[in-house]
Amino acid sequence: MALAGCGGTKDEVASTSDKTTETGASELLSLYDSISTETKYVAMSDLPEIAAKESYTIGVAMTDVSTGWFKALYDHVNEKLTEAGVTVNLVQCNDDAAMQVDQINTFIAQGVDAIIINPANPQETVTSALDDCAASGIPVVAVDTPPETGSAYMTACVTDAYSLGKMVGMELATRLLEMYPDMESIPYGMIGGTDGNSIAAARNQGARDGIAEVDQEGRIEERTFLYAGAYSEESGLTTAQNMLAANPDLKCIVGTCDAHIVGATSAAEQLGLDENLIMGAVDGSKSAYEIMLDDGPIVALGLNSPYEVGEAAVRVILGYLNDGTIPDSKTLQLEPTLVTPENVQDYYDPNSAF
């Protein structure tokens, strides 16, 4: 089981409004320290049910809700908490860590019961606000991205960025070697996200390692790597245009996220190169699925579902607030899944918001 009862009620384990700040901080930090730092894979069925035994108010601090993935994450978190009868306070900071600190301090002043945070960069800036939450006895669960190592939070509900990237790399390499059995050097390009983003870097390195594991002879060559500077279709389009203009012989493009290769598909179509390329990335968006279903160049997607990580965070925080149930790991990872043209129908939802 991914979660276990902590041996007492919430009021016995963590600070609430009737305890002093010092006692609340001490007990909540002790609880955090008791949770294993060994990453655990988790299934949704392992987690507490979505129910609220009291009238809770939960602050949700997002980096951004303007892009499809992050909007779907927040919408699902909001939907599940609201269905349970929880009052939700949403803030977003446009990845401005200093702004996120101010927003969390406002949550503390409001006396929220708990916080779900999607940490902004640089993460070390947010650490002080997490310390303040612990000092006020407010439990924090992270979603999608873990806070800085050693900071004060209960757990992070994430997907395995490296393994997803590796799955994509292995699938692309397998297809490339089948498509070009006699080509001595098979060039590909990789679209990075933003320099310094640890999740993006893990996806990129996973893809490289997956390609290398399949391509034992080293025939598949990374010809070019360009940062897109964002995680949008527009940035993917522009970056792919530059990449393909300089390297029209590329046989594959690996994106950090689906938006990159959706944009890259448009770029390849504009240049008349879409039939010469295959592409893959991590996320699993409706737009990428539709390109895959239409026999487009996208053939490998690592499933990074905003719905799954969001629901996991909701279940964890409600389990703690209701019964003092705590996770047995500081990092709960959902099982990695690869989507290809062969199984995409199992994952495509035409009514999905993302």
Give the β-pairing of 140-143 and 114-117.
Answer: parallel
What pLDDT is attached to residue 166? 98
How many Å apart are CA 123 and CA 100, to the nearest integer? 10
Q: Which residue has tokens 């996806």?
A: 203
How many Å apart are CA 274 and CA 264, to the nearest integer? 9
Share of the chain above pLDDT 90, in %: 80
CB 143 within 8 A of CB 156: yes
How many Å apart are CA 118 and CA 318, to the nearest integer? 17
Higher-pLDDT residue of 173, 19: 173
CB 161 within 8 A of CB 206: yes
Distances (CA, A) of 99 to 51, 84, 124, 144: 31, 29, 13, 19
What H or E segment, with its residue span, contains residue 155? strand 155-159
pLDDT band at 8 (very low <50, low <70, confident <90, very high): very low
CB 279 within 8 A of CB 261: yes
The reported pTM is 0.79
Question: Hey, what's the torsion of the CAs at 146, 151, 154, 155, to 10 degrees?
Answer: 20
pLDDT at 185 > cutoff 80: yes
Beta bridge partners of 266: none
What pLDDT is attached to residue 121? 83
Alpha-carbon radius of gyration of the chain: 21
What pLDDT is attached to residue 198? 84
pLDDT (average), residues 310-316: 97
* Exposure string for 250-267, b = 16+ CB within 10 A, e = fewer: bbbbbbbbbbbbbbbbbb
CB 254 within 8 A of CB 186: no
> Per residue in 80-123, pLDDT tens?
999 999 999 999 999 899 999 999 999 999 999 999 999 998 88
Question: Hey, what's the torsion of the CAs at 264, 265, 266, 271, to 10 degrees?
Answer: 90
Higher-pLDDT residue of 157, 198: 157
